[in-house]
Structure 1
Amino acid sequence: MGAAVSLGERLRRWHPRTPSLPQDLADLVRADDPEWFARELAIAVAPPWWFWRLLLRRFSWLVAVFGRVEVTGGIPEELRGGPLLLAANHIGDFDPFVVAVALARLGVAPRIMTTGGILAAPVAGPLLERTGAIRVERGTELARHAVRVTEVALVHGGHVVAYPEGRVGLAPDLWPERGRTGMARLALGLRVPVIPVSQWGAHEVLQYGNDWGKLRTAARAVLRRPALRVHVGPPVALDDLRMGRVGDANRARYRIAAAITRGLGPLRTREMDRPAFIDPTRPVTAVAAYPGGVVPEDIP
């Protein structure tokens, strides 16, 4: 019994080997910071993990088990070296896997912003962290750590996938919400290109509610194999905006939402008014930035 407990404890504490943290970044870590902060800084500085690249290259077919991955658009060759902020709409728990596979096909090994609860899970959490996933503790004082890790990753040429909405979208028609200004401020402050990533279909694989229904929708997806569509659009025009100038962060977030929405329209085809797949566990408590996917021509 004691040996079993000891093994379980070892599994809960296990982490892949972490790269060394440069001294200039080690000086940023304070005694009261969470223990994972130094690890994430070290991972953010290092090149993408070889094992992560291997998974994306050799095992992306696992995502295709649940649907047909279709990728359109691309990333300009001159931007692939990074840094890049990849702004994606968030439609369900499965879409980070679809987006990662799509970006890998375009030659990018992404670092994905992920909720802290997932990264706290034994074994799977440490593996995700080592791939470069950035922990986001929304609504807590620890949220600032995600900003710092993201800044470090971008300064060192990282390709960071972030969700401007800050959560799975809850608009009734599943068009993207206007999002928050966090990504806009990062882009303006660091002068990093923002690439819109529009995606559709992943919401059919895992339902919103965290119950046994997730297994049911996953099994149904294996049989039905819905289209998992991802479109990577051209960089969002932000050159005329400046960090700290009144209203510019707000203008930037609306432009980012507009770019994602425009790219999403062709992916939805006959689902422009409402999704064909209705998830009864998903709340509908938000409003889309551009209801119906209609984006005005005169976005400021």
Structure 2
Amino acid sequence: MTTPRQHVRNAAGFALVWVVATVAHRVRFRTSGSVPSTGPVIVVANHLTVTDPLAVARVVIGHRRFPHFLAMQEVFSWPGVGALARATGQIPVARGSASAAQALDRASERLAKGQLVALYPEGRLTTEPDQMPGPARTGAARLALRHPEAPVVPVGTWGPKQGTEHIWHRHTACLSVGPPVDLGEWAGRTDESAARAATDVIMAAIREQIAEAQRMWHAR
């Protein structure tokens, strides 16, 4: 049961993320209406720049949901940003450590509570010259196979340049939200082969939405 205090914190989190995201980006997005208004949801996206989580957050909040991102642990030590991440219930990931799997457990707990979890399957910023996603890790697929009741919603982002170039000025980000990814073929499986195959399907869906976001970008 959500307490009055938690309601206040949730409302403050919505307002704070909305303001910060609006300051950072001119967000334009299209959606297939695939983000349910209630229940567990997994949002997966490509990761061009350190600020694009704010654009994804803006889209999620536009669906009247609040995102809980898996974010690298270092973010939680950044001045201001770390405090925002902690206050809004984001999930730290200790990359390259034996405890990194704990982040998936925390994300699983969020989903069990009917919340929305957002993550980047690449596990890092996109570095490919064509700005398309590179090799992905299997964490998103493992989480999805653990929670078959949670739709996996792919988001494609286009517009922001790679890396940190857009940190200090406002820019346009175009995002396309696609229909849920069908992972039914691997339902109930937790083996490496299933996780890898599901990851490939997830990444293909993200690339489809990137193509839509590119069309939005050129037509803006």
Fold agreement, TM-score > 0.5? yes
Amino acid aligned to 2:163: Y
Greater share of residues in strand: 2
CA 1:70–1:270 in structure 2 vs 1: closer, same or farther (change >3 Å)? closer
Separation in structure 2 between the aligned mates of residue 169 and residue 60 of structure 1, nearest angstrom: 21
Structure ranking higher on relative contact order (CA contacts 8 Å, 6+ apart): 2
For residues 53-202 of structure 1, the aligned pairs below 5 Å read 53-57=14-18, 60-64=21-25, 68-76=26-34, 79-191=36-148, 192-202=150-160
How far off is 1:253 after superposition?
Answer: 0.4
Larger Rg over CA atoms: 1
Count of residue pairs brought into register by the alignment = 212
Structure-1 residue corresponding to 2:163: 208
Q: Helix, strand or coil: the match of 1:160? A: strand
User: Residue by residue, what CA displacement relative to the aligned partner does 1:86-136 show, whole Å, maximum 9, x if unpaired?
Assistant: 001011101011111121112221111111111023453132122121101
The TM-score with structure 1 as length reference comes to: 0.64
Q: What SS does structure 1 have at the residue aligned with 2:14? A: helix
Partner of residue 241, structure 1:
186
Distance 1:49 1:254 in 2: 34
Counterpart pick for 1:255 among 191, 201, 204:
201
Would you identify which runs of 4 or more consecutive aligned residues in structure 1 move more than 6 Å? none
Structure 2 runs not aligned, ≥5 long: none
1:247 to partner: Cα distance:
2.3
**Residues in 1 aligned to 2:167 and 2:194: alpha-carbon distance in whole angstroms:** 41
Deviation at 1:60, TM superposition (A): 4.3
Query: How far apart in 2 are the matches of 1:163 and 1:266?
Result: 18
TM score, norm. by length of structure 2: 0.85
Structure 1 residues not aligned, in runs of 5+? 1-18, 21-45, 273-300
Q: Distance in 2 between matches of 1:234 and 1:131?
A: 27
